[in-house]
Amino acid sequence: MSDTPLRLVIFDVDGTLVDSQADILGAMRMTFADEGLEMPPREAVLGVVGLSLDVLMIELAPDADESMRARLVQGYKDAYMTLRAEQGGAVSSPLYDGARATMEALQAQPDTLLGVATGKSKRGLEKLIEAHGLEGLFVTQQVADFHPSKPHPAMLLEALRETGVEARDAVMVGDTSFDMDMAQAAGITGIGVSWGYHPVARLSAAQHMIERFDALPALLDDIWER
């Protein structure tokens, strides 16, 4: 029996595992147009990806009243589902290069567990997992339905509780400052990625950075000194 403690690698989804910006921007454009509003700039939209929709819409439509923000949230959900259905999730939200191979390599390690912590809804995450054939890969799945928005640490604390892994034996891999701030708040090592929706300069709370997915396993070995 191995003396190595269980390790947990938690991934953000949008901007980290998959590039969903085309659908995010398209759905946002449709949503704001339906309300007769001008769509916020691309940088503003991508800058809040990862937040829960109710929090995100406050950022993007600060002058909207509560009723309009509720319509924007529902409108975005409907528009996103429409776009995803038109192309299929694997096409509309493609995996980044190296994501699948890296996750499969990590899963093959007997002491390593994988999880996700995402601003997506439970339904949205399930659809994405199904589209890419990732069933059974993530032993813990933390979604926006059941937690405060990032960067609150609730998602990560629940992932630790579900898996029984200690914070020192877990990492959070993400592309936004929300992910890195969440990791810091939970006492988990934050690993930022350079290919996502926040510029690297915003990931000041990250303890490590990677520029390619296939760099992750070696970095994890260094972190955990296997």
Please indicate whether residue 14 is annotated as part of the active site: yes
Residue type, 159: A
Is the previous residue joined to 151 through a cis bond, with omega within 30 degrees of 0? yes
User: For 20-130, where are the E strands, in sequence order?
Assistant: 112-117
Please indicate whether residue 12 is annotated as part of the active site: yes
Rounded Cα distance between 21 and 85, Å, is 16
Instruction: Report the interhelical angle of 66-87 vs 21-34 (nearest 10°).
Output: 130
Catalytic option among 3, 12, 97, 145: 12
Rounded Cα distance between 134 and 105, Å, is 13
Catalytic option among 14, 23, 179, 181: 14
The helix/strand/coil state of 14 is strand
Residue in 167, 153, 220, 159 with CA at minimum distance from that of residue 191: 220
**Are residues 51 and 24 in contact, defined by beta-carbon separation less than 8 angstroms?**
no
**Are residues 211 and 191 in contact, defined by beta-carbon separation less than 8 angstroms?**
no
Active site residues: 12, 14
